Amino acid sequence: MRTLRVLELYSGIGGMHCALTESCLPFEVILAIDINTTANKAYRHAFPATKLSECGIETLTEKQLDEWKIDMIVMSPPCQPFTRVGKKLDTEDLRTKSFLHLLSLLPRLTNCPSYILVENVKGFESSQTRDRLIETLHTCRFNLQECLLTPLQFGIPNSRLRYYLIAKRAPLKFCFKTTEKILDTIPSCASRWLSYKLRKRHGSSTVSGSAETTLTTDTKKSAGITPSSTVATDTADTSANTSGGNDVPITTISSNELLSQNCSNISGEGDKKGHLVVPEMLSSNSCLPGRDESENTDKYRALLKYGHNMRQLETDVRKLSEECVNLEHFLEQREPDYFNAYNLTDKELRRFIVMDIVHPCLTKTICFTKRYGHFMEGAGSIVQMTTDVEAVKRASEFKDSAMELQNRDEWGTEEISIIRALQLRYFTPREISNLLCFPQNYSFPEDLSRIQAYRLLGNSLNVHVVSVLLRMLVEGDT
Ligand SMILES: C[S@@+](CC[C@H](N)C(=O)[O-])C[C@H]1O[C@@H](n2cnc3c(N)ncnc32)[C@H](O)[C@@H]1O
């Protein structure tokens, strides 16, 4: 396949660019465009070789788009006009203007792109802006599919339900039967890209019960897994290895190496891997079995029991999260002091009742929004570092009684000390990047503040989910 010329609109920190890389499609981002200077600083840092423009998308012209000879447009237009908590001004919102302008240009192009991918929040699907998008795409003879998907469906312990549209221009056709309905599952043709792997450790393999759950026989076959694989392995190979212990060094293979190995497979004998490879990062309070003695099993059972009481779990996603990788694989492995800066202050601990508290052995976090670090309720999960069952039990009972008394924050020092014993901290930007499946070599500029990083990540997307959609979009045209 020839190299796709991609225009990345509303590029933010480059989530789409990362997804293109993960998809292993041959591509070149010929131009990225965003008006946010902080986002652009992060984008330039991550992709110094990519041309980036700070112009408003509403200033683009038909002539420019034609001259650029674009094959694909990927974009996440501003979502505020469609969010559940916003005013839902939709087409009347000034922030939709640039997107509507782009839609007005498409039918007038001589060189209309062949592929389009749009990402937005849940809510977009019932907007007038969406209706205009569909109308325009039909006028331009696009075949299309809309989806509502969350990373939880991909084995990733993070809830982020998003609207996606993939469209390709006739005579190009999808490799699956499209429907006017909004899909909330992945067509079977994409199932081979869904599984993830844990990275192999030197001389030994990684053990994870939950990893097994998303590896179907088919995906194992298509991945061509062998016990001697140098990249990753699955739990089927690892049963003899539960006593591997902490002292086994984690492999230092870089995500680029992993990617190139995955990519090189893509062109060979139909073995299209593209698995998400989760770096194995075990925290000191790891919940993997076999780490210690059998008493750990009871301990973690107890931690889970009380831990679930401190969650804000939506019932509709509970089942999905059972299939996900343990959260601990997404956490940074650092000296305890490193996390001091992320500890919650006593003032923040007072928001205990509305927090979504997660222990590393759980399999779901709530969506991290751009308000993370500012707001507690619904803005993202909080990590509980303690593994002291008594401390967790006390906090769980305290939560129950506070709810019963309808006392949300009128607490004295004793109550605060119960909550403090949970050792609660924020996720680090790196950990949120891991949950969003940004590659390990993705980094922010050093002078970006933590709050700025949270804001940018909250606006971004799940790289793995988009990479699967990109493959679904282009599959069959190679
Ligand atoms: C939802 S975020 C996209 C995030 C991006 N996909 C990422 O991975 O970070 C929307 C982005 O659109 C940008 N934006 C909003 N209005 C714009 C306009 N008129 N022209 C260019 N960029 C705009 C914002 O600065 C923001 O970064």
End-to-end Cα, the chain, rounded Å: 5
Per-residue pLDDT of 349-374, as tens digits, reads 999 999 999 988 888 999 999 999 99
Mean pLDDT across 311-332: 74
Predicted confidence (pLDDT) at residue 319 exceeds the cutoff of 70: no
Tell me, in angstroms, the distance from the centre of ligand 1 to residue 428's CA: 23
The more confident residue out of 277 and 78 is 78
Predicted confidence (pLDDT) at residue 461 exceeds the cutoff of 90: yes
User: Which amino acid makes up residue 51?
Assistant: K
**Which of 9-18, 48-57, 374-383, 405-414 is the least confident region?**
405-414
Question: What is residue 102's predicted lDDT score, i.e. its pLDDT?
Answer: 97
- SS3 assignment, position 164: strand
Query: Which residue minimizes the CA distance to atom 19 of ligand 1?
Result: 56
What Rg, from alpha-carbon coordinates, does the chain have? 23
Tell me, in angstroms, the distance from the centre of ligand 1 to residue 363's CA: 30
Where does residue 446 rank: exposed (0-12), middle (13-18), buried (19+ CB within 10 A)?
exposed
Q: If you average pLDDT over every residue of the chain, what do you get?
A: 79
The proportion of the chain whose per-residue pLDDT surpasses 90, expressed as a percent, equals: 56
Q: Closest ligand 1 atom, CA of 11?
A: 5
Predicted confidence (pLDDT) at residue 315 exceeds the cutoff of 90: no
- Give all domains of the chain, ordered by start, each with its CATH number: 4-190+462-474 (3.40.50.150), 196-274 (no CATH), 295-439 (3.90.120.10)
> Probe ligand 1: pick from 11, 33, 34, max atoms within 8 Å of CB?
34
Question: What is residue 478's predicted lDDT score, i.e. its pLDDT?
Answer: 62
Q: What phi, psi does 375 have (nearest 5°)?
A: -120, 150
Q: CA-to-CA distance for 434 and 457, rounded, in angstroms? A: 11
Question: What is residue 433's predicted lDDT score, i.e. its pLDDT?
Answer: 97
Question: What is residue 202's predicted lDDT score, i.e. its pLDDT?
Answer: 34
Predicted confidence (pLDDT) at residue 230 exceeds the cutoff of 70: no
**Strand 424-426 relative to strand 357-358: parallel, antiparallel, unpaired?**
unpaired
Structure tokens at 33: 């465009």
CA distances from 27 to 120, 203, 474 (A): 23, 36, 12
Closest CA to 76 of 22, 138, 33, 127: 33
Is 189 considered catalytic here?
A: no
DSSP letter assigned to residue 151: G
Q: CA-to-CA distance for 72 and 115, rounded, in angstroms? A: 5
Query: Which residue minimizes the CA distance to atom 11 of ligand 1?
Result: 10
Mean pLDDT across 338-349: 95
Per-residue pLDDT of 386-436, as tens digits, reads 989 999 999 999 998 888 887 777 888 999 999 999 999 999 999 999 999
Q: CA-to-CA distance for 70 and 6, rounded, in angstroms? A: 6
Query: Which residue minimizes the CA distance to atom 5 of ligand 1?
Result: 12
Query: Which residue minimizes the CA distance to atom 27 of ligand 1?
Result: 12
Question: What is residue 317's predicted lDDT score, i.e. its pLDDT?
Answer: 60
Question: What is residue 77's predicted lDDT score, i.e. its pLDDT?
Answer: 96
The more confident residue out of 378 and 241 is 378
Q: Closest ligand 1 atom, CA of 18?
A: 8
Q: What phi, psi does 158 have (nearest 5°)?
A: -145, 130
| Catalytic annotation, pick one of 24, 79, 112, 367 | 79
Tell me, in angstroms, the distance from the centre of ligand 1 to residue 10's CA: 3
**b/e map of 237-268 (b: 16 or more CB within 10 Å)?**
bbeebeebeeebeebebebeebbebbbebbee
The more confident residue out of 210 and 362 is 362
Structure tokens at 251: 């492999």
Predicted confidence (pLDDT) at residue 458 exceeds the cutoff of 80: yes
The more confident residue out of 320 and 120 is 120
Q: Closest ligand 1 atom, CA of 36?
A: 25
Does residue 171 have a cis bond before it (omega within 30 degrees)? Answer: yes
Q: Closest ligand 1 atom, CA of 14?
A: 8
Confidence of residue 313 (pLDDT cuts 50, 70, 90): low
Go through the chain and tell me how many residues it has.
478
Mean pLDDT across 233-243: 28
Tell me, in angstroms, the distance from the centre of ligand 1 to residue 429's CA: 19
> Which protein residues touch ligand 1 with a CB less than 6 Å away?
10-16, 33-36, 39, 56-58, 76, 78-79, 95, 98, 459-461
